[in-house]
Amino acid sequence: MNKEIATPIRTKAILDKYGFSFKKSLGQNFLIDTNILRKIVEAAGITGETGTIEIGPGIGALTEQLAKVSRKTVAFEIDQRLLPILADTLSPYQNVKVIHHDFLKANVPAVIEEEFGPDTDLVVAANLPYYITTPIIMKILEERLPVRAIVVMLQKEVADRISAKPGSKDYGSLSIAIQYYTRAETVMIVPKTVFVPQPNVDSAVIRLSVRKEPAVSVMDEQFFFEVTRASFAQRRKTILNNLTSQLAGGKEKKDKILAALRTAEIEPSRRGETLSLEEFARLSNALMPSFR
């Protein structure tokens, strides 16, 4: 059996063998520390019954660890140059399928149905390219993909924003969107030194446990997210000023916004970053009749 992929020596040997050069545009940073990969697998609670979905397998470092413990792993890879490398590095594992497709454009429900079938315990595990972290996570959540958890490595700064609490500088519309669908926790901080090439910043592994029902009850999900985005448009502005300037027709409906704030029991002078998920839900439900 070959030595594990995620060691400095083996990774270099694989890259040299195929003359692979990193594409900055694809955010390629390969992990060279098997302990961290095992911790990702552990954090995802994967068993022999679990199906795993990976996005951006690279040369197969995490894929290998997933394949060792899960029932089946399906990995989406956008870079055609990596396909022959993956065919080689993952050849010992019969329970892996690599799909050459952009995950953001893929019909993932159809893939899940075909590759895993109904009622499989499903987990997403990935070392995500920094530049598309948020769109990938939001696609999984907004499309209501039937996954139990999402365990991903991403830029530490984004992890801080995802798990931030009201009143902190990192708290914003991204925190709300992800906490609406999941329970978010940071599993570990990962130093930049364990990647090739080295990124400029440290990373973090986060676990998002998908809620069976969203955290709060809203009349219109799309409008709820519109309201949260508007509330953070200019962080120094009050909630009243942000909603008035950012919501379509807000200036003409300032009295309606004031009335909705009263109904939701929110002081108009507060800033968006002080509002909890529950307060945003009350506010969007109170605003709804005037804006929809």
Q: Is the peptide bond before 197 cis (omega within 30 degrees of 0)?
A: yes
pLDDT in tens, the chain (292 residues): 458 999 999 999 999 999 998 877 777 789 999 999 999 999 999 999 999 999 999 999 999 999 999 999 999 999 999 999 999 999 999 999 999 999 999 999 999 999 998 899 999 999 998 888 999 999 999 999 999 999 999 999 999 999 999 999 999 999 999 999 999 999 999 999 999 888 889 999 999 999 999 999 999 999 999 999 999 999 899 999 999 999 999 999 999 999 999 999 999 999 999 999 999 999 999 999 999 8
**Binding site feature residues:** 29, 31, 56, 77, 102, 127
State both tokens at 18: 């195929």
Q: What is the pLDDT of residue 24?
A: 72
Q: What is the pLDDT of residue 205?
A: 97
Place of tokens 């390219």: 129
CA dist 92 and 96 (Å) reads 10
Q: What is the pLDDT of residue 2?
A: 59
Question: Under 8 Å CB-to-CB from 187, ≥6 apart: which residues?
Answer: 39, 40, 43, 151, 204, 205, 206, 207
CA dist 14 and 206 (Å) reads 28
CA atoms within 13 Å, Cβ hemisphere of 163: 18
Residue 180 one-letter amino acid: Y
Look at strands 203-210 and 182-190 and give their pairing: antiparallel
Torsion 193-197-203-209 (CA) sign: negative
CA dist 60 and 87 (Å) reads 9
**Binding site feature residues for S-adenosyl-L-methionine:** 29, 31, 56, 77, 102, 127
* Domains by residue range for the chain, with CATH: 8-210 (3.40.50.150), 221-291 (1.10.8.100)
pTM across the whole model: 0.92
